[in-house]
Amino acid sequence: MPINTDRALGAVLGSAAGDALGASYEFQPAVLPPTPIVWRAGNPWQRGEWTDDTAMAVPLLDELAAGADIRTDEALGRVVRRWLGWARGAKDVGIQTRRVFAVLERELEQHTGAHDDAHVARLCKTAAAQVHDVTGRSGGNGSLMRTGPVALGYLHDAGAVAAAARAQSDLTHFDEDTGDACVLWSLAIRHAVLTGEIDLVGQLGALAPDRAEIWRARIAEAEGREPHEIKNNGWVVAALQAAWSAIVRGTSLVDVLERAVRAGDDTDTVAAIAGSLAGAKYGASGLPKLWFDELHGWPGEHAVDLETKVLLVVGRE
Ligand SMILES: [Mg+2]
């Protein structure tokens, strides 16, 4: 069956647009109607500039565009190397990801010599586990925010989507909630690209039965609350819930993104998460032309560059 390219593009561009829309509202209180959500600049972000959410998704998209399999440590190691290069000059890196990279950089320095890509990926996962052990938690939303491209590489293989989603999450996030969230969301993105329908509960079968029941309750809870009523959205569970609340209430891609940004706090990430799934339903054509034209960010790319890469990925399917 031919892939609907508008919906495939939406998974990546919807996420990037949500990221850029939410950037100027990050760490602020909820913004409720009738106050409008405005496409605008906000220190340190230019108007239309995406943040770490999309920056961290780009290397995953690039690997898929090059025909690599992001379930392998070789491909994941190349992703980690690019993340490290980005993080050294980035305007923002999430707290948990920064901790993991600090441990990893120390490890790479102490054991100089050749590190092949697969070894770098394994060291990164070990660093994530260490951070979890030291801090007692690692349930940040930083791996869910970058899942936009994951499903696109494996649209005809749900098992591969689930494996790739968890593999990329494990690089920086040890907590099982983070891997589960990435699996559920990526499978829902796949389903939306293939069918034009959104079905999150229908993906629960990919989780272990006890985990599926926990997530079923969390999804139901989110449906009963407005995005701003779901607190602590830097936590992966609350971020997914807030994004889901925005999606089930929204009537268009822009409406979903604005509802996600209204949540306050980690606005860019909640909107990036919401945008990957809503974009896969409504398609990139649901974005205003101005947003498409102005979207840009690390590594010096624009929406058209992401578009070219997504078309390469789905052209392989
Ligand atoms: Mg961000």
pLDDT of residue 137: 81
135 is in an annotated binding site: no
52 is in an annotated binding site: yes
Give me ligand 1 centre to Cα 292, in Å.
18
Q: Would the pTM of this model clear 0.95, i.e. be above it?
A: yes
Give the separation between CA 60 and CA 79, rounded to whole angstroms.
6
Going by C-alpha positions, the residue among 189, 240, 192, 246 that lies closest to residue 218 is 240
Give me ligand 1 centre to Cα 122, in Å.
25
Read off the pLDDT band of 314 (50, 70, 90): very high
Q: Is domain 5-70+138-315 given the CATH code 1.10.4080.10 in the classification?
A: yes
Instruction: Tell me how far CA of residue 179 lies from CA of 55, 185, 289, in angstroms.
Output: 20, 10, 34
pLDDT of residue 2: 86
Give me ligand 1 centre to Cα 148, in Å.
14
Give me ligand 1 centre to Cα 266, in Å.
8
Give me ligand 1 centre to Cα 180, in Å.
21
Going by C-alpha positions, the residue among 263, 238, 237, 269 that lies closest to residue 250 is 263
19 is in an annotated binding site: no
Read off the pLDDT band of 115 (50, 70, 90): confident
Give the separation between CA 48 and CA 117, rounded to whole angstroms.
33
Q: Which amino acid is at 172?
A: T
The torsion defined by the Cα of 309, 157, 6 and 222, in degrees rounded to 10, comes to -110
113, pLDDT greater than 80: no
Beta-carbon contacts of 137 under 8 Å, excluding residues fewer than 6 positions away, are 175
pLDDT of residue 91: 93
251 is in an annotated binding site: no
- Percentage of the chain beyond pLDDT 70 is 100
User: For 42, phi and psi rounded to 5 degrees?
Assistant: -165, 120
305 is in an annotated binding site: no
Give the separation between CA 199 and CA 184, rounded to whole angstroms.
10
DSSP helix/strand/coil, 42 = strand
pLDDT of residue 112: 78
Give me ligand 1 centre to Cα 51, in Å.
5
157 is in an annotated binding site: no
pLDDT digits (tens, 9 = 90+) for 273-296: 999 999 999 999 999 999 999 999
